[in-house]
Amino acid sequence: MELVRATEAAAIRAVPWIGRGNKNAADGAAVDAMRKFLATVEFQGEVVIGEGEKDEAPMLFNGEIVGNGRGPLCDIAVDPIDGTSLTAAGRQNALSVIAVADRGTMYNPKEVFYMDKIVAGPAGKGIIDLDRPIADNIKDLANALGKDVEDMNIAILDRPRHEKLIADVRASGAGTELMLDGDVAGGINAALENGRIDMCVGIGGTPEGIITACAIKGLDGVMQGRLYPRNDEERQNAIDAGHDLNAVLTQDDLVRTDNTFFVCTGVTDGGLVRGVNRERNQITTDSVVLRARSGTFRRVTAVHRSDKWLNDED
């Protein structure tokens, strides 16, 4: 629950920048707030996935130590705003996210920034396979879910690189939900039982994949990924670092422990959580907390006094 305070703070501080067209300002406000609250958490956290490499941020960079210096040794993955462009444009599905696992268990994604991924809920275990055609995956998952293929809904990032994938999904008879950004939310929605999305597929960020893996463990879902180098230099760097570019990585490869936590708070409204709502003297936040070891899914709605935030207190 201490972690929720950090994602809540990041989401609240991003609110003034929603729809203002300045994603860097939104991200900067969220980073500042998240870092401040992480400093109070009783753990010794090392940022494995942070802001530095991706956004050239001076705080919450890879390798930074956070927490109050007491408690367990942990790996930390942070994304103060997953969906900075969504926030800047005032669109849905922007989240503030933190994932935590035992020290030394998170996959290090620094050599290859992108990964080809497929995610589904518990029914997808032993069914989905990154090496099989997407139409076969959809058909077999539909059978496992007791659904018609025509009722299947597949989430995919709306990118030119996915033009053929989108066409193949539609040719199978299934529908698509095209995401402008933020495939963490897409992956989690795909793993939720009885959700609107049945599967999330396509090439997205490797850091986001590792964050998603922490959540998938809490939801008892299934995830597979393969590193996707963008160019020859990145490919060679990955090979030199010892990565097998043909290997299919599961959620257990991406996070090698069941002692994981995933926390997110909505910045803007979305299918997973509601965005921050400000009315008169109160601010309402909507968050999700997942713990893999206990299999617990918590939804946390919090009401904050506006004057406390204006005075920079909590």
Annotated binding site for Mn(2+): 27, 51, 79, 82, 208
Spacing of C-alpha 291 from chain mean position = 15
Give me the DSSP letters along 4-39: HHHHHHHHHHHGGGTTSS-HHHHHHHHHHHHHHHHT
258-274 in b/e form (b: 16+ CB < 10 A) is: bbbbbbbbbbbbbbbbe
Q: Which residue positions form the known binding site?
A: 27, 51, 79, 82-84, 114, 159-161, 181-183, 205, 208
Residue 197's nearest CA partner among 218, 179, 224 is 179
Two tokens, residue 273: 């959580």
Give me the DSSP letters along 75-136: EEEEEEEE-HHHHHHT-S--EEEEEEEETT-B---TT--EEEEEEE-GGGTTT--TTS-HHH
Residue 66's nearest CA partner among 56, 55, 74, 54 is 74
What kind and span of H or E run contains 288? strand 282-291
Q: Which residue positions form the known binding site for substrate?
A: 82-84, 114, 159-161, 181-183, 205
